[in-house]
């Protein structure tokens, strides 16, 4: 396991003691601090201005009650969160997650990651994240709508196109953004398109936003392959998850000549040697809101479904964890290495445990961290904001080209920065340092605030 620079040990200790029990947040902070040793050595001005300590403390944390009435007429209660982490580079920007596992520690880890990810895009957006412990599973659309309306009835006073711009994440897609935007519009009496991203195409949304995170991850891997004079052609790929990120990662891998042989959900995974049938997967997941087991049942004998074991035991050259945090552990990393995996790129946020990351690194597997590899989603959100601000809308082709260009530039920045700080080829070091220094320099310029 990498060690922390001596200067940074008290910073990390302070984060742990100020945020007790928030283990995912501690993990995300530690991962960044582990890369910053050479930066603090070279730049004493960051320590003088306590930039890192300030960066680890969110600018504002909002926690609120979300009461709503279910279809049976019973009152339900959830907790809502918005952590406005850092606005040195622009308005807070980051998604909302609706999932029963959501608590302050998850929102803070996601918000912290978002600061560096957003910085890496090169666009003028700060970092934030929000969500609720609401579980959309098994809820009717009417229940989801009432929940979203109640959530926005409090959130509206904290957000705005120049203040804080939420979007989707796990459990929040186009349907939820619609209900949230509708309620925002109603309570503020403003058609403020730029207040949320991930909107529908007929009411201010951007082409490619739905596809952006998955496409972006695959574009990033394409850059990694190109750097070693390789391509997706004929590559066997495993994609965990089957939500928005996974579906569009699979689509782009197939377009680029690779073959995705497995995907999953929280109940199990399906293996299909001839390649996942994406039209059917989209139908089951996007239209019917069904499960991977439903997909497998529809495919019959060509698909093998398993509710036990790990998707990472399926042999592949490229692994794209696109489900959720800490889904790929040390044992999984060993399996991937034993099966000859060459590249792991995170489509989800922090899906690889620190132990797994260290094992992959030691085995020479090239590893792209989420803050670089999945930045395509938020980068396209920034493009949506740009279109909203100019009351314009771009074509699919133009927007996809902008996304591809952004991923190319993030890839380049990671490698260039890693090289400059003596860790050639290390995307983790490159992403953390490049993301950090841009925010840190802005914080220095803005004074002690």
Q: Which of 239/337 has CB closer to ligand GLU?
A: 239
Secondary structure letter of residue 169 according to DSSP: B
The CB-of-408 to ligand GLU minimum distance in angstroms stands at 18
Specify the DSSP class assigned to residue 2. Answer: P
DSSP string over 334-402: HHHHHTT--EEE-SSSS-B-HHHHHHHHHTT-EEE-HHHHTTHHHHHHHHHHHHHHTT----HHHHHHH
Q: Say which residues have a Cβ less than 8 Å from residue 252's Cβ, sequence separation at least 6.
A: 211, 214, 215, 218, 219
Structure tokens at 70: 């279910």
Nearer to ligand GLU, 117 or 259 (CB): 117
Query: Are 329 and 240 within 8 A, CB to CB?
Result: no
As a whole number of Å, the end-to-end CA separation of the chain is 34
Instruction: Tell me if 93 sits within 8 A of 128, measured CB to CB.
Output: yes
* Residue of 323, 378, 385, 418 that binds ligand GLU (CB under 6 A): 378
Please report, for residues 31, 175, 283, 314, the alpha-carbon distance to residue 295 in angstroms, rounded to integers and kept in the order given: 36, 22, 9, 18
User: Of 22-30, 90-98, 187-195, 334-342, which part binds ligand GLU (CB under 6 A)?
Assistant: 90-98
| Region near ligand GLU per CB under 6 A, out of 43-51, 93-101, 132-140, 231-239 | 93-101
Tokens of 180: 């949230």
Q: Which of 78, 349, 353, 437 binds ligand GLU (CB under 6 A)?
A: 349
**CA gap 53, 65 in Å, rounded:** 30
Integer Cα distance of 271 and 263 in angstroms = 7
Q: Does the CA dihedral 186-63-103-196 come out positive or negative?
A: positive
Beta bridge partners of 368: 345
Token pair listed for 242: 């089957």
Q: Rounded to the nearest whole angstrom, what is the least distance from the CB of residue 81 to ligand GLU in the complex?
A: 14
Nearest distance, CB of residue 247 and ligand GLU, angstroms: 15
Closest distance of CB 375 from ligand GLU, Å? 7
Each residue 101-140 as x (binds ligand GLU by CB under 6 A) or -, in order, gives ----------------x-----------------------
What is the nearest approach in angstroms of ligand GLU to the Cβ of residue 309?
Answer: 28
Mark out the alpha helices in 189-274 (DSSP H runs): 209-227, 244-255
**Which is closer to ligand GLU, CB of 37 or CB of 376?**
376
39 binds ligand GLU (CB under 6 A): no
Instruction: Pick the closer one to ligand GLU by CB: 39 or 378.
Output: 378
Instruction: Report CA 62 to chain centroid distance, whole Å.
Output: 21
Q: Does 95 bind ligand GLU (CB under 6 A)?
A: yes
Q: Which of 381, 417, 432, 437 binds ligand GLU (CB under 6 A)?
A: 381
Which of 241, 351, 377, 430 forms a contact with ligand GLU (CB under 6 A)? Answer: 377
Chain centroid to CA 184: 24
Q: Which residue has the tokens 């850092």?
A: 86
Q: What is the Cβ-side half-sphere exposure of residue 115, based on CA atoms within 13 angstroms?
A: 30
The residue range among 279-287, 377-385, 403-411, 430-438 that interacts with ligand GLU, by the rule CB under 6 A, is 377-385
Half-sphere exposure of 136 (CA within 13 A, CB side): 21
Per CB under 6 A, 93 contacts ligand GLU:
yes
Tell me the helix, strand and coil percentages in the chain, rounded to 5.
50, 15, 30
Number of chain positions touching ligand GLU (CB under 6 A): 11
Residue 399 engages ligand GLU in binding (rule: CB under 6 A): no
Taking the complex as a whole, how short is the minimal distance between the CB of residue 197 and ligand GLU, in angstroms? Answer: 5
Question: In this chain, which of 94, 127, 205, 243 binds ligand GLU, going by CB under 6 A?
Answer: 94
- Residues tagged active-site: 129
The residue number with the shortest CB distance to ligand GLU is: 95
Q: Which stretch binds ligand GLU (CB under 6 A): 89-97, 139-147, 322-330, 397-405?
A: 89-97
Helices (H), 241-316: 244-255, 278-282, 292-299
Query: Which one among 169, 272, 327, 346 touches ligand GLU, defined by CB under 6 A?
Result: 169
CB of 213 to ligand GLU, least distance (A): 6
Site for ligand GLU in 193-232 (CB under 6 A): 197
Nearer to ligand GLU, 369 or 377 (CB): 377
State the pairing for strand pair 60-69/75-86: antiparallel
* 84 belongs to the binding site for ligand GLU (CB under 6 A): no
Q: Contact residues for ligand GLU (CB under 6 A)?
A: 93-95, 117, 167, 169, 197, 349, 377-378, 381
């Amino acid at each position: 396991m990498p060690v922390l620079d001596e200067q940074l040990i008290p910073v990390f200790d302070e984060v742990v003691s100020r945020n007790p029990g928030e283990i995912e947040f501690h993990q995300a902070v530690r991962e960044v601090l582990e890369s910053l040793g050479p930066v603090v050595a070279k730049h004493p001005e960051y320590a003088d201005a306590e930039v890192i300590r300030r960066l680890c403390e969110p600018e504002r944390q909002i926690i609120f009650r979300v009461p709503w009435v279910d279809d049976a007429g019973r009152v339900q209660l959830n907790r809502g969160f918005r952590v406005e982490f850092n606005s040195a580079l622009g308005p807070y920007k980051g998604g909302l997650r609706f999932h029963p596992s959501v608590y302050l520690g998850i929102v803070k880890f996601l918000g912290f990651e978002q600061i560096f990810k957003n910085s890496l895009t090169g666009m003028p957006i700060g970092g934030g994240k929000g969500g609720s412990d609401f579980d959309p599973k098994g809820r009717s659309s009417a229940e989801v709508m009432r929940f979203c309306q109640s959530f926005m009835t409090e959130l509206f006073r904290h957000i705005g196109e120049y203040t804080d711009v939420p979007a989707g994440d796990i459990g929040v897609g186009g349907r939820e953004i619609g209900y949230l935007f509708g309620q925002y519009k109603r309570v503020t009496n403003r058609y403020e398109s730029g207040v949320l991203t991930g909107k529908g195409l007929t009411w201010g949304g951007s082409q490619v936003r739905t596809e952006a995170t998955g496409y972006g991850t695959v574009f990033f891997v394409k850059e990694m392959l190109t750097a070693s004079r390789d391509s997706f052609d004929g590559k066997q790929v495993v994609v965990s998850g089957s939500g928005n990120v996974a579906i569009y990662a699979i689509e782009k891998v197939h377009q680029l000549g690779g073959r995705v042989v497995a995907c999953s959900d929280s109940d199990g995974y399906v293996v299909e040697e001839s390649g996942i049938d994406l039209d059917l997967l989209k139908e089951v997941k996007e239209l019917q809101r069904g499960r991977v087991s439903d997909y497998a049942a529809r495919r019959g004998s060509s698909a093998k479904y398993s509710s036990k074991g790990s998707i990472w035991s399926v042999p592949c050259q490229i692994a794209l964890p696109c489900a959720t945090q800490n889904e790929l552990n040390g044992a999984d990393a060993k399996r991937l290495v034993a099966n000859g995996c060459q590249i792991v790129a995170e489509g989800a946020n922090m899906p690889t445990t620190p132990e797994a990351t260290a094992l992959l690194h030691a085995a020479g597997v090239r590893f792209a961290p989420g803050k670089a590899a999945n930045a395509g989603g938020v980068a396209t959100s920034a493009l949506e904001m740009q279109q909203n601000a100019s009351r314009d809308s771009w074509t699919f082709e133009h927007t996809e080209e902008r996304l591809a260009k952004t991923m190319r530039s993030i890839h380049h920045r990671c490698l260039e920065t890693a090289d400059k700080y003596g860790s050639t080829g290390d995307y983790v070091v490159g992403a953390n340092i490049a993301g950090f220094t841009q925010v840190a320099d802005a914080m220095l310029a803005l004074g002690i605030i």
